[in-house]
Structure 1
Amino acid sequence: MNESEKREEHQLSGDKRNKAVFIYDPRCTAYRFHDGHPFNQRRVTWSYQLLRQGNWLSDEEMVLPPSLDEHQLSLVHDAGYVEAIRSAQHDLINRRTYGFDEDTPCFEGMHEAARQICAGSVHAVDQVMLHDRRALHLAGGLHHAHAARASGFCIYNDAALAIAHARDVYGLRVLYIDTDVHHGDGVQWLFYSDPDVFTYSIHETGKFLFPGTGSVTERGVEQGFGTTLNVPIAPYTEDDSWLECFQETIEVAAAAFQPDLIISQHGCDAHAYDPLSHIYCSMRIYAEMPKIIRRLADRYCKGKWVALGGGGYDHHRVVPRAWGLLWLVMKQHPLADSLGHADRLPADWIEDMQQKTSLSIPTTWLDAKNAWAPMPRREIIVKENRAVKELARSYYSSFIQPS
């Protein structure tokens, strides 16, 4: 953080924007494909338990969302698709038509479980707009679902629904920031021609990772031309390069777009431990990246910020720490800004988690500096990422000028 950012942080401290709420609904754990599936909402439960056991989350900060009206799903999803999910009686051919496969299989009660996740993300927007406070909904962030097709473990697109709700009900210009290692394709395509929604995604290049999209040349169409920015980074990218690419591109995007609200998706699968990607970052990016978003929300949106969960498949060692840090940043807990390598996790939580896995549970918030060896191709990777970063910035500045 430079000196001007420190002054800005000091000026904003202590005001009403420090308030944050934690949207939590145990019913969302019913969003579960099968025992062996990598997507499991126990991640949300374990993150919640970490914060509660460390006394970082109080009863007063928790909010239970109401159920979602069925008609609200139509803001982003086709009626025939919603009916197919509700009934779940269609044959195998139709299941393929609607995107269900081995990766995203049907499961009992999927309509209600997915709808309740959407309810939490929509309610997060209402909390921000009606009560002037930040809101976190970790069960959300299902960014791959399309208007009439499930994809990438996602059935309904709660992130897109929250954006549409903010746009249609409150008349807001929304900046959507996606930091999941997989490109936020579902959200991008749903708003690809919308000039009032800017979709930003930093992710591992689609050359090597699902869903195969997210090129810097994808910039929007028609009235939305220029309101899309993708930063596809190389496999085995490490912390410094990831943070450089993120900060320099998201800051120019926010400055030019001038959003009224930020909705961010926080998949934490860019960590070196994650089994479904090839990015080699540590917990450091999950400590620093939310601070960048918080400063942007304070600078351009009067603090209005909704944060959602997303991917992350090292359930024991990575996700609870990353999402716990996100909450600490959102509520501006002093630990978030003073965090060091010696700051430990609650002993009871470590013991509980260790009983659930044969993996060695970290004892500190941040990873040890020597947790793994640096990449031998580091210089080449950094050079490749800088070229992509500059190309993304040049496309963006060519089509959207600061107001």
Structure 2
Amino acid sequence: MNCNAGFVYSENYTTYRFHSEHPFNQKRLILTYDLLHQANALQPNNIIKPRFATDEELMLFHDSSYIEKIKRASTGNLTEQEGLEIGIGTEDTPIFPGMHDASSLIVGGSLQAVDAVLTDGYTHATNLGGGLHHGFKRKASGFCIYNDGAVAIQYIRKKYNLKVLYVDTDAHHGDGVQWAFYDDPNVCTLSIHETGRYLFPGTGNIHERGIKEGYGYSFNIPIDAFTEDESFLHVYKEAMTKIVDYFQPDIIVTQNGADAHAFDPLTHLCLTMSIYEQIPAIAHELAHQYCDGRWIALGGGGYDIWRVVPRAWAQIWQIMNAGTPFKGELPKVWLDKWSKESPVSLPRYWHDEPQLYKPIPRKDEITEKNQYMLTKALQLIRNKNNHHLNDIS
């Protein structure tokens, strides 16, 4: 299946940079772009340049006073106390020069992806620079200053009046987007993430199900540390299939953090590259089945920028554009170029080698716990045809 897909990209995304030792490093985008280029998978007509989001667009989700403080921080005119009150100037989210422009460019890229699909005739679009899902209305959090996903969904709601399914497979709970639409029955959120017992932000319990008219449109499946491919894929496929059929969205927005891989230094899951072929493939299939193909993919977390993120994110584009994943060896030109700079040995193949990690002795117990979480999370869905709810927790 060849689809008309758009790839939102600019090297200026690397201006979103906290400092040289910070784990959030947008060089991963350059590595991904170059990998796709060397694989002959990107053509000039695929590229969509991002734009800066306007203040009015940012205020679709963020408070105007928050935006003004981010602007002041960008030029060094915010006190330390003022910064801490809005979540910046911390170890996780330090202040850096030009942070407003760098952040608004990422948001504008996600808005470009929306308009590409809903106005400009593209079937799918991806903005891998986006997916900053921890940002709140009045506060930065977890490396995220502006929440491009929340702004983009509000943009879809206001401009196009469509029902949106947001699916987040980052290892960290998609808290900022969830809370943004917690009372909105026209936005359904699904987050599959490592349990908050061990990982930031500590939220995303199965009982977080929405409030008021939005009750029943928030789904969380916290999976256990050291979850492996088979269990994750079962949870993801079962949840996606049932929730899409239950909610009947007009468009799907996915957040595709690549930090659930076994190599990631910040999380405790044990997934391999096989999952990063399956996640976009299932989203692609369901988008065509339910939404006339309308699918927007954002980036997100991912802190092994050499061995994991380029391969995982390149597969999103390959599925989106060609319908099938890359197989076999990575392009030799890419390996030769970047192995000189990489602090770790680069993988030779799109897939992972066997015995990537030591066997997990609790595998059966972990799988059983994940199945329990899946079952409890999906108890909200009583009747897929008429959207009635039945909470029997």
Using the size of structure 2 for normalisation, the TM-score is 0.95
Distance 1:157 1:119, change over 3 A: same
How far did residue 87 of structure 1 move?
A: 1.1
Distance 1:202 1:400, change over 3 A: farther
Partner deviation per Cα, 1:136-169 (whole Å, 9 max, x = no partner): 1010000000000000000000011110111110
How far did residue 399 of structure 1 move?
A: 10
Which residue pairs with 1:249 in the alignment? Answer: 239
Counterpart amino acid of residue 330 in structure 1: M
2:60 to 46, 50, 75: 75
Which residue pairs with 1:44 in the alignment? Answer: 29
Kept after mapping to 2: 8 A contact 1:174/1:262: yes
How far did residue 396 of structure 1 move?
A: 3.8
1:312 to 302, 306, 329: 302
Mapped partners of 2:129, 2:385: distance in 1: 33
Which residue pairs with 1:105 in the alignment? Answer: 94
Distance 1:72 1:172, change over 3 A: same
1:357 to 320, 342, 359: 342
Kept after mapping to 2: 8 A contact 1:219/1:226: yes
Which residue pairs with 1:233 in the alignment? Answer: 223
Mapped partners of 1:399, 1:183: distance in 2: 25
Kept after mapping to 2: 8 A contact 1:229/1:396: no
1:134 to 124, 146, 151: 124
Counterpart amino acid of residue 126 in structure 1: D
Which residue pairs with 2:112 in the alignment? Answer: 123
Query: Would you tell me which structure has more helix in proportion to its own residues?
Result: 1
Mapped partners of 2:50, 2:102: distance in 1: 13
Partner deviation per Cα, 1:6-57 (whole Å, 9 max, x = no partner): xxxxxxx46xxx1101001222110000000000110111100000011111
**1:331 partner SS:** helix
How far did residue 390 of structure 1 move?
A: 0.6
Counterpart amino acid of residue 223 in structure 1: E
2:277 to 273, 287, 293: 287
**2:96 partner SS:** coil
Mapped partners of 2:350, 2:66: distance in 1: 42
How far did residue 351 of structure 1 move?
A: 1.6
Which residue pairs with 1:10 in the alignment? Answer: none
Kept after mapping to 2: 8 A contact 1:257/1:400: no
Structure 2 unmatched ranges of 5 or more? 389-393
Indicate the RMSD between aligned Cα atoms, in angstroms.
Answer: 1.4
Partner deviation per Cα, 1:307-350 (whole Å, 9 max, x = no partner): 0000000000000000001100000254x1xx55xx01001111
| 1:185 and 2:170 correspond | no
Which residue pairs with 2:81 in the alignment? Answer: 93
Which residue pairs with 1:175 in the alignment? Answer: 165
Structural mapping, 1:131-170, within 5 Å: 131-170=121-160
Distance 1:161 1:168, change over 3 A: same
| 1:275 and 2:265 correspond | yes
Counterpart amino acid of residue 192 in structure 2: I
Mapped partners of 1:217, 1:116: distance in 2: 35
Distance 1:48 1:249, change over 3 A: same
Structural mapping, 1:315-354, within 5 Å: 315-334=305-324, 336=325, 340=327, 343-354=328-339
Counterpart amino acid of residue 30 in structure 1: T
Counterpart amino acid of residue 125 in structure 1: V
**2:360 partner SS:** coil
Mapped partners of 1:185, 1:323: distance in 2: 22
Partner deviation per Cα, 1:45-102 (whole Å, 9 max, x = no partner): 1100000011111111111123322211100000100000011122111111101211
How far did residue 372 of structure 1 move?
A: 2.4
**1:22 partner SS:** strand
How far did residue 386 of structure 1 move?
A: 0.6
Partner deviation per Cα, 1:177-200 (whole Å, 9 max, x = no partner): 001000000000011001110111
Kept after mapping to 2: 8 A contact 1:226/1:400: no
How far did residue 401 of structure 1 move?
A: 4.8
**2:296 partner SS:** strand
Structure 1 unmatched ranges of 5 or more? 1-12
**1:75 partner SS:** coil
Mapped partners of 2:191, 2:377: distance in 1: 11
| 1:23 and 2:8 correspond | yes
- Kindly tell me the number of residue pairs found equivalent between the two proteins: 383
Counterpart amino acid of residue 59 in structure 2: S
Structural mapping, 1:297-308, within 5 Å: 297-308=287-298
**1:384 partner SS:** helix
Partner deviation per Cα, 1:281-304 (whole Å, 9 max, x = no partner): 000100111111011101110000
Kept after mapping to 1: 8 A contact 2:135/2:147: yes
Which residue pairs with 1:388 in the alignment? Answer: 373
Mapped partners of 1:31, 1:201: distance in 2: 25
How far did residue 376 of structure 1 move?
A: 1.2
1:204 to 194, 206, 210: 194
Mapped partners of 2:207, 2:190: distance in 1: 13
| 1:59 and 2:44 correspond | yes
Which residue pairs with 1:373 in the alignment? Answer: 358
Kept after mapping to 1: 8 A contact 2:245/2:384: no
